[in-house]
Amino acid sequence: MRKLNLVAKQKPKRLSLATIILSILLIIFLIFTPFKLLPLLQLDIVKDEIDSRRERTFSGVITLWQIDAFEGGTGSRNAWLNQRIAAFERKYNGVFIVVKTLSKTQAELLLASKDLKLYPDIISFGSGIKGIDPSLFLKPDKSLMLPLRPDAAASSGGYCVPWCMGSYAIMADSALLNKAMAGSKTLYSVLGTMGGIKYSSKGEKTIFSLGIPQKNVQCPSAALAAEFLENSKSILAGQYALRSQTGDTSEMLFDAYNYSYTLNAILCTQRDIYRLKTAENNNKARESTVIPLSNYTDLVQYIGMLSCNDSPKIKVMQEFISSLLQVSTQEQLSEIGLFPTIIAAQPVYDDPRIKAQFDAISNKKIIRSGF
């Protein structure tokens, strides 16, 4: 009984101050540590996800050469492209596409250097440029070819994508052409007959029937030959039939036709129709008839991706090219007087002569190879 009383009277052990402090610190650690560790843990997870996405997506600069190899339309293809690029960049955060416009000569010099460091990521070009070779390009996805005109797709060889085009026409003095074609004569038979010597008080003036530009153009003689299904020289063999001098640009020939009247007709593109329209607005235009040539064109602008091992970058470049082939985008080519290369697009042109050119080449196989 005495022993039990002794046990009952024992006092509990008192905790030391150090033990109390350690216990409090442990409690504080357990309470607040998750709030500190969780964000750090989440940060690691987010960083891993960001790194993973960076491996799957592209951000950076894509360079694009715009090479104006042919005349056609109005305004700047560079400016038109930059407007579409701005819309594309808004959808692709961190992607910047820089356009550099080069002349045919500038592009050929850079391509001849064979210095890949000078080359862009994408080239927009026309046919006839030295140094443009299919081996430069990555083949685009086949889906990009599906909306194209069949002749446009075939002309690319599968290495690039045609994104806009132009066509040829004959612009002639209306009164002289009507007079020459009287009696059911054809354009073919009279095209070389409207030239000669004109005498006046100021002396004599040599006038040629037709002018064909020879500088900074594609193959305009072929346009005539294909249109008439014969060698064009056979209809232009007369003394005053043809002016085709080395160095003649389309602008020089338009001036000779519309202002100095030393030509009675010219082989033209949409660009010359816009020149005529400007002259009309200034009451300085010659009364003219425009006849589309609908059996041939080599006035096509292609776009292609240069060889690259960066899969995310390739994906972005293909999506950009695809954006140029959307129906709404192709229809906006009317803003610069060019024609779409996809079947579904139906742009609206404010000049009936441009619309007539577009209608004349629609649903026809007339485009020649771009290489």
Q: pLDDT tens digits for 279-322?
A: 999 999 999 999 999 988 989 999 999 999 999 999 999 999 99
- Among the candidates 268, 293, 318, a domain finishes at 293
C-alpha to C-alpha distances, 39 to 31, 52, 348, nearest whole angstrom? 15, 19, 57
C-alpha to C-alpha distances, 93 to 96, 305, 314, nearest whole angstrom? 9, 21, 16
Give the number of residues written for the chain. Answer: 371
Give the model confidence (pLDDT) of 168-185 as tens digits: 999 999 999 999 999 888
Q: In this structure, how many other beta carbons lie within 10 angstroms of the beta carbon of residue 178?
A: 11
Q: Do 210 and 268 have their domain in common?
A: yes
DSSP secondary structure code for residue 291 in this structure:
E
Question: Mean pLDDT, the chain, as a whole number?
Answer: 87
Residue 237 lies in a domain: yes
Give the model confidence (pLDDT) of 98-120 as tens digits: 999 999 899 999 999 999 999 99
State residue 51's pLDDT score: 46
State residue 175's pLDDT score: 97
**Contact partners, residue 12, CB within 8 Å, separation at least 6:** none
Q: Do 143 and 97 have their domain in common?
A: yes
Q: Do 266 and 347 have their domain in common?
A: no
Q: Do 250 and 302 have their domain in common?
A: no
Q: In the numeric block, which tokens belong to residue 54?
A: 């960076």
Number of domains in the chain: 2
- Among the candidates 259, 293, 327, a domain finishes at 293
**Contact partners, residue 197, CB within 8 Å, separation at least 6:** 204, 205, 206, 207, 240
Residue 14 lies in a domain: no
Residue 319 lies in a domain: yes
Q: Do 319 and 354 have their domain in common?
A: yes
Residues 188, 324: Cα–Cα separation, whole Å = 38
Q: Do 148 and 176 have their domain in common?
A: no
Residue 8 lies in a domain: no
Q: Do 190 and 277 have their domain in common?
A: yes
- What is the DSSP pairing of strand 95-102 with strand 60-67? parallel
Q: Name the one residue in this structure whose structure tokens are 């690691």.
A: 44
Average pLDDT over residues 211-231: 71
Q: In the numeric block, which tokens belong to residue 279?
A: 């002259």
| pLDDT confidence band for 47 (50 / 70 / 90) | low
- What is the DSSP pairing of strand 300-306 with strand 210-211? unpaired
Q: Do 145 and 93 have their domain in common?
A: yes
- Among the candidates 237, 258, 293, a domain finishes at 293
Residues 196, 193: Cα–Cα separation, whole Å = 8
Tell me the β-bridge partners of 305: 122, 138
Backbone angles phi, psi at 305, to 5 degrees: -95, 135
Q: Do 260 and 346 have their domain in common?
A: no
Residues 301, 71: Cα–Cα separation, whole Å = 11
| pLDDT confidence band for 78 (50 / 70 / 90) | very high
Q: In this structure, how many other beta carbons lie within 10 angstroms of the beta carbon of residue 217?
A: 22
Q: Do 66 and 87 have their domain in common?
A: yes
Q: Do 96 and 109 have their domain in common?
A: yes
Residue 357 lies in a domain: yes
Residue 328 lies in a domain: yes
State residue 148's pLDDT score: 96
Residue 342 pLDDT exceeds 90: yes
C-alpha to C-alpha distances, 139 to 77, 109, 159, 266, 370, nearest whole angstrom? 24, 24, 5, 39, 15
Residues 164, 166: Cα–Cα separation, whole Å = 7
Which CATH number do you get for residue 113?
A: 3.40.190.10
Residue 230 pLDDT exceeds 60: no
State residue 50's pLDDT score: 46
State residue 232's pLDDT score: 63
The helix (H) or strand (E) run that includes residue 36 is helix 17-56
Which CATH number do you get for residue 221?
A: 3.40.190
State residue 323's pLDDT score: 98
Q: Do 218 and 306 have their domain in common?
A: no
DSSP secondary structure code for residue 134 in this structure:
G
Residues 32, 290: Cα–Cα separation, whole Å = 84
Structural domain boundaries, residue 215: 168-293
The more confident residue out of 132 and 221 is 132
Residues 352, 306: Cα–Cα separation, whole Å = 39
- Please, what is the end-to-end C-alpha distance for the chain in angstroms? 117
Residue 37 lies in a domain: no
| Amino acid (1-letter code) at residue 95 | V
Residues 106, 244: Cα–Cα separation, whole Å = 25
Residue 191 lies in a domain: yes
Share of the chain above pLDDT 90, in %: 61
